[in-house]
Chain A
Amino acid sequence: MGCGAADVANLLRAGAATIAEHRVELIDLDRPIGDADHGENLNRGFGFVVSTLDTAVPETPGGVLKLAATTLISKVGGAAGPLYGTAFLRVATTLGDRPDLDASAVVEALRAALAGVVARGKAEVGDATMVDALTPAVAAAEAAENDGIAALLSAAADAADQGAESTEPLIARKGRASYLGERSVGHVDPGARSTALLLRAFAEAAR
């Protein structure tokens, strides 16, 4: 499958639908170790992404992702806004004005997303953040590049699921949860969970 602007817009719509569906779960994950707004923040941001896409879909995948980035940056209101916003912005820059994405472009996009999150938040693997989900996802996507877009996204989603689970025993070292120190142990990081959910939605929509 090639992946043009309309396809990328559909991936984002699928992502928004997942976030809406899991809004309460993400809020509940954010309650004990944060401020119980992650699901609300993301749902607001992705809601605006969908309504902007309903008005007009930009011509290139990069254009669609840039629109998503700027919308998330101005509408999310919590840490997830600048983080996901920077990720999508980096992806848009990396893709430039390519009209269509092949598997290697999608892998490159995932790499750019991780680079964006790390540049913005300065977190490392093991800090109990979305980086713990996205890092293994990129590695899995790289390994599955030859299997096509849907398969590599699905491998990325599997790895992100595990990565999100891996945050449970960790002490959070970035973001609000880091103020809790030891008490952040025993909780899955909400941002890692939302990253895994988004990748799963992208993978299913790409099938």
Chain B
Amino acid sequence: MRVGLVVVSHSARLAEGVVELAAQMAPDVTVLAAGGLPEGGIGTDYDSVVAAVQRADAGAGVVLLYDLGSAQMTAELAVESLADPGAAVVVDAPLVEGAVAATVAAQGGADRAAVAEAAASAGAPPGTETAAQDAGAAQSTTLTLRNDVGLHARPAALLVRSIAGLDADVRIRLGEDEADGHSVLALMSLAARKDDTIEISATGSQAGEAIRRIEALAERDFDE
């Protein structure tokens, strides 16, 4: 029993092409295309995605890959509507390389989480992380949160946005826990509250600018 795969695309031909490529390396994996609209136009069709997921599930679960943002929304809705939403997962991955990596993993008998992981990590050039760290010396600072809600959803989102686009890898630490400064969810899960002191460290050519922007934001109490 192997994990199944569904390729959700706006274009029927794109979905079929990706399936053709991926299935070639994995003869025993069910890889299905859910692309285009039933009448033949460009778009994503919820009902065909649901049907494909049901057909691809042999009992070991399904991994869904998608092309553009709104295909992700359709795929997520389809998964939520399953009798067991835990049976399938939508993965943010490069479509072609992700599909190939995922089918190969599924062919090898990997479970659903491992197949999803194979897709998600596909296409990242090896050693990206070390390269970013070499680009500039690490910088760090500590600051105490004075705003009422701490690093709750809105402040976390503002923080992530303030450093978006900078060439800097930012980590935020509270006590034992450390979070990616570019992920709203990760920041929220630190549960940093008012009066907590957080440590910010950054690497990359714009590390200093990233830290300055976060300090300025905290100085303004996250515009509360």
Query: What 0/1 pattern do residues 36 to 60 of B give for CB contact below 8 A with A?
Result: 0100011111110000000000000
Q: Are B46 and A73 in contact (CB under 8 A)?
A: yes
Which residues of B, 57-92, contact A by the 8 Å Cβ criterion? 68-70, 73-74, 76-77
Q: Are B69 and A82 in contact (CB under 8 A)?
A: no
Query: What 0/1 pattern do residues 134 to 157 of B give for CB contact below 8 A with A?
Result: 000000000000000000000001
Which residues of B, 179-224, contact A by the 8 Å Cβ criterion? none
Q: Are B69 and A77 in contact (CB under 8 A)?
A: no
Q: Are A82 and B37 in contact (CB under 8 A)?
A: no
Q: Are B43 and A41 in contact (CB under 8 A)?
A: yes
With both chains docked as a complex, state the minimum distance between the C-beta of A41 and any C-beta of chain B, in angstroms: 7
Query: What 0/1 pattern do residues 168 to 207 of A give for CB contact below 8 A with B?
Result: 0000001110000000000000000000000000000000
Q: How many residues of A contact B (CB 8 A)?
A: 19
Q: Say whether, besides A35-B42, A73-B46, A124-B157, A79 and B70 are in contact (CB < 8 Å).
A: yes
Q: Are A78 and B77 in contact (CB under 8 A)?
A: no
What does DSSP make chain A's interface, helix, strand, loop or mixed?
A: helix
Q: Is A135 an interface residue (CB 8 A)?
A: no
Q: Which residues of A contact B74 (CB under 8 A)?
A: 81-82
Tell me the complex Cα distance, A77–B37, Å.
7
Q: Which residues of A contact B46 (CB under 8 A)?
A: 73-74, 81-82
Which residues of A, 79-122, contact B by the 8 Å Cβ criterion? 79, 81-83, 85-86, 120-121
- B73: contacting residue among A41, A83, A124, A176, CB under 8 A: A83
Q: Which residues of A contact B76 (CB under 8 A)?
A: 82, 120
Q: Is A37 an interface residue (CB 8 A)?
A: yes
Q: Which residues of B contact A74 (CB under 8 A)?
A: 45-47
Q: Are B77 and A77 in contact (CB under 8 A)?
A: no
Q: Are A82 and B43 in contact (CB under 8 A)?
A: no
Q: Are B77 and A37 in contact (CB under 8 A)?
A: no
With both chains docked as a complex, state the minimum distance between the C-beta of A165 and any C-beta of chain B, in angstroms: 23
Give 18 A-B contacts (CB < 8 Å), ordered by A residue. A35-B42, A37-B42, A74-B45, A77-B43, A78-B43, A78-B44, A79-B69, A79-B70, A79-B73, A81-B74, A82-B46, A82-B73, A85-B77, A120-B73, A120-B77, A175-B69, A176-B69, A176-B70
B residues at A contact (CB < 8 Å): 37, 41-47, 68-70, 73-74, 76-77, 157
